[in-house]
Amino acid sequence: MNTIQSGLSAATRCVFVAICFFCVQAYAYDELSFHTIERVRNDVDDRERMVILNFYFSPSNRVGYELRETPYGSLSPIVKFIEFQREIDITPEEARMCAERLVAAGLFSLPKSGEHRIENIWSIFGSLRGHTFELSYRQPPKSGARKRVEGTVQAIAHELGLDRIEGPMFARIVREGGTQRLQVSSNDPRTKVPAITETEGDRIAARLVSLSELIAHPNEYHGKRVSVVGFYHSEFEGSELRSNEKSDYAENVWCETISSFAIKGTAFEQDCWARIDGTFLKGPAGHFGMWPGEITRVTRFEAQSQPIETLNTPNAVMPTFSAFMPKFRILEGFAKPRVGHSAL
């Protein structure tokens, strides 16, 4: 009996050691992830630019690239929203050379960071050759090892053709006979969306449309400036313009961004009916993509005392638009706007 127990104990120890060995091996792969977020603004455009470059070294030997440019406001007639992802397989020798270049640039001598990881501007996570990285900084690299590493990362992405903005949102880069081509999967919905979405600028006159019409015909209004009335409500991971005071996600649109070029003082008000002017983007949108669309870069938020659900409502006030100063004209037979709600 003792012999059997001893044998079982030995077997158990062997299994435990084997599991530990394979777990260590499973997490021993070298991977590095570089994140950069910057706010780019000039006199006519304001946007956030996010770049992620992921190195998957041996045995994966793969590089992934993601770029997202989100406009927060623009006075240009046409505004480009960019979102695309690329992946490319590399040879073991290319993976080794990428690692060597990063090390030569000063990867192992980067200054330690005690800064908070939330809202960081430049960060590195992962491991390489026994070195673990959990670094994040609130300032972009300006000199020294950080600047050299950043330059090396950008150079590698460019040499592999990962930063070439064209085609669908997602694709794999395949190299054949010295040339590159994009490979897409018919089963991946990301391959059916273009990397670049063109929208109207914030000074284009907004079209009067009902919220139900907007949701029913998203392709017709995608990228267009719209003027919509709904019930505005905001909470954690849930800022939306509702079709009713209590309504489902499918009947509402995501709405959380005021244009950087809106009239000073333009702001959302909690739990009220309002007319909102902004740029419509078809969904999925919002947190976990639960909304059928969103209205972004809002240039007007005017609280209403009662809902105006359609454009044919007898008491509706019909606005005429000029840039950012909407004014009201009273149509014959229509009610006059109430005091305090006539013009911005």
- Which DSSP string do the residues of 269-303 spell out, in sequence order? -SSEEEEEEEEEEEEEESGGG-EEEEEEEEEEEEE
Domain end position, chosen among 141, 176, 196: 196
Would you place residue 236 in the very low, low, confident or very high pLDDT band (cuts 50, 70, 90)? confident
The contacts found for 312-316 with CB under 8 angstroms, 24 or more apart, are none
Same domain, 57 and 149: yes
Residue 231 pLDDT level (bands cut at 50, 70, 90) = very high
For residue 6, being part of any structural domain is answered with no
- C-alpha Rg value of the chain to the nearest Å: 27
In the predicted structure, residue 75 carries a pLDDT above the cut 80:
yes
Please count the structural domains in the chain. 2
With CA atoms as reference, report the closest residue to 71 among 241, 283, 289, 223.
223
What's the whole-number mean pLDDT along residues 222-228?
96
- Asked if 39 and 183 sit in the same domain, the reply is yes
Q: Is the pLDDT of residue 65 over 80?
A: yes
> What angle is formed at CA 341 by the lines to CA 339 and CA 344, rounded to 5 degrees?
125
Average pLDDT, the chain: 82
- Domain coverage including residue 96: 31-196
Can you give the pLDDT at residue 304?
84
Residues 185, 160: one domain?
A: yes
| Pair 170, 239 in one domain | no
DSSP label at 250? G
Do 213 and 178 belong to one domain? no
> What are the tens digits of pLDDT across the range 11-22?
555 444 444 444
In Å, how far are 53, 147, 214 from 150, measured between CA atoms?
11, 5, 43
Q: Give the C-alpha separation, 61 to 55, whole Å.
A: 8
pTM: 0.75
Residues 186 and 315 in one domain: no
One domain, residues 53 and 169: yes
Residues with Cβ within 8 Å of 75's Cβ and at least 6 positions away in sequence, in order, are: 43, 44, 45, 201, 202, 203, 261
Q: Are residues 39 and 157 in the same domain?
A: yes
243: pLDDT strictly greater than 50: yes
Residues 289 and 182 in one domain: no
CATH code assigned at 248: 2.40.50.140
Alpha-carbon separation of residue 291 from 56, 189, 247, 276, 285 (angstroms): 34, 17, 12, 17, 5
Residues of the chain above pLDDT 70, percent: 78
